[in-house]
Structure 1
Amino acid sequence: MSSRGEHAGTILVIEDDESIREAVVYNLGKEGYRMLAAADGLQGLRLLRRERPDLMVLDLMLPGMDGWKLCEQVREEGYDLPIIVMSARTSDFDKVQLLDLGADDYLTKPVSMSELAARVRANLRRSRTAAGARGAAELVEAGPLVIDPGAHKASVDGRPLELTPRELAVLHYMVRQAPKTVSREEIYQAVWGYEMLHGDRSVDVFVRRLRKKLEEAAPGRTFLQTHYGFGYRFEVLED
């Protein structure tokens, strides 16, 4: 399936509900995207490997391979495309678990097609901005931390950090804002590209993951400080 504006990007929709799948394909196709669709997780993974789409829209309750496993598998294989999850599950636990597995965004069903289109545009814009900067951006150094935005790499004391694109974007933003404390809303707006919904815990999840990776790479030091009731600050402190 393709649309008139293939240049807009390729989107893979993995959804077992035919009516929802067709609605997503139709509505995003009108936006100028080339559309690919799969009804189960294994078919979706095969399409991903063959077609290399720019973004994935993923359901959770899939036959063959569920959305949790598929999300994890995609990241393990090194694909860094944005993943937007659509699900009727509304618990914070499910959302946090998916973000931990590497999802970039989460929409609760029933999904507004206009909202989905807006999220797709924002995620693609962020992804392309990051890709366009590769090879051109200067190194950022903050104590033992070095970020190379152009190469999509970061290291602590010379030890490479394994970061997802979103993790790197959050860390890069916080380092550039240091020593200022930045609110969750500011981080979300800068990195995700749109306003944070009330109660959204995405920023907290990414900060927690970054803390774990940074502190494992540099024992005895902390990098991301919490300003309770407001937000976070990048500052290297000795334990």
Structure 2
Amino acid sequence: MSATILVVEDERKIARLLQIELESEGYQVQVAFDGLTGWNSYREQVVDLILLDVMMPVMSGIELLRRIRSEDEQTPVILLTAKGAVEDKVSGLDLGATDYVTKPFEIEELLARVRAALRNSRKATVQASPGEWLTIADLRLNPATREVYRDERGIQLTQREFDLLAYLMRNQRLVLHREQLLTEVWGFDYAGDTNVVDVYIRYVRKKVDEGFGQELIHTVRGIGYVLRESV
């Protein structure tokens, strides 16, 4: 069954272009021209991915993202942001956006990011035994229930942060190159640069390392990262 994508974009020409290109790739596409209509469309149907413009009338994309993430941490959301809108990008990532594309964008890049987001979302929903826990020191992660605990304290992660930490934990004590993390967590056809890995490592570190007795995520200068207990 083809994936259903919700496009929330107030510029009708862009929305129509996205609809045509996505449908030509075999996706089912729903379109909303403002944030409130987008929210209602999201509540009325099951969607597999959302393309969300940030600057919109009635309800901004950031507010819509906030509402979605208040009840749904899984559905991939790719933000469409204005060039140079760093604050919007940071706010979106902090609220749990999966990715972002800067306008004007190349349609091939956007389609690649859509494929990567859908693929990683499907990986995350593959059934695993609820009893399976990945552990290192006092950090525990359950791939099935998507629970994370450090020193028995619950930790809330976005979908991308969870996927990154899960990959690190499955490969603990192995030095992982940035390119390897990008391929395995973001997808082989991800069109961004490797700096996004550093950004998300920083996010995960802040949640799982800061304030605890020992650091578990270590930088290997010039190569990448490794998850291991301090020696």
Scaled by the length of structure 2, the TM-score of the pair is 0.89
**Matched residue, 1:128:** 122
**Deviation string, structure 1 residues 108-146 (Cα, Å, up to 9, x no partner):** 222222322222122111111210134478321212112
**Deviation string, structure 1 residues 131-182 (Cα, Å, up to 9, x no partner):** 0134478321212112211222222233322122211110011122221222
**Matched residue, 1:54:** 48
**Structure 2: any 5+ residue segments left out of the alignment?**
none
8 Å CA contact 1:11, 1:36 repeated in 2: yes
Scaled by the length of structure 1, the TM-score of the pair is 0.86
**Aligned pair in 2 of structure 1 residues 90, 189: CA closer, same or farther (>3 Å)?**
farther
Displacement of 1:227 after TM fit? Answer: 2.4
Letter in 2 for 1:223: L
8 Å CA contact 2:209, 2:217 repeated in 1: no
**Deviation string, structure 1 residues 176-200 (Cα, Å, up to 9, x no partner):** 2221222322211110103565755
RMSD: 2.3
Aligned-partner Cα distance in 2 for 1:55–1:196: 16
Displacement of 1:44 after TM fit? Answer: 0.7
Identity of aligned residues (%): 37
Aligned-partner Cα distance in 2 for 1:62–1:107: 16
**Structure 1: any 5+ residue segments left out of the alignment?**
1-6
Q: Which one of 96, 99, 108 corresponds to residue 102 of structure 1?
A: 96
**Matched residue, 1:192:** 186
8 Å CA contact 1:99, 1:202 repeated in 2: no
How many residue pairs are counted as aligned between the two chains? 231
Aligned-partner Cα distance in 1 for 2:42–2:65: 12
Counterpart secondary structure, 2:225: strand
Q: Which one of 95, 99, 110 corresponds to residue 116 of structure 1?
A: 110
Aligned-partner Cα distance in 2 for 1:203–1:109: 22
**Aligned pair in 2 of structure 1 residues 15, 206: CA closer, same or farther (>3 Å)?**
same
**Aligned pair in 2 of structure 1 residues 199, 120: CA closer, same or farther (>3 Å)?**
closer
Aligned-partner Cα distance in 2 for 1:29–1:196: 20
Pair 1:43 & 2:37 matched: yes
8 Å CA contact 2:112, 2:191 repeated in 1: no
8 Å CA contact 1:10, 1:36 repeated in 2: yes
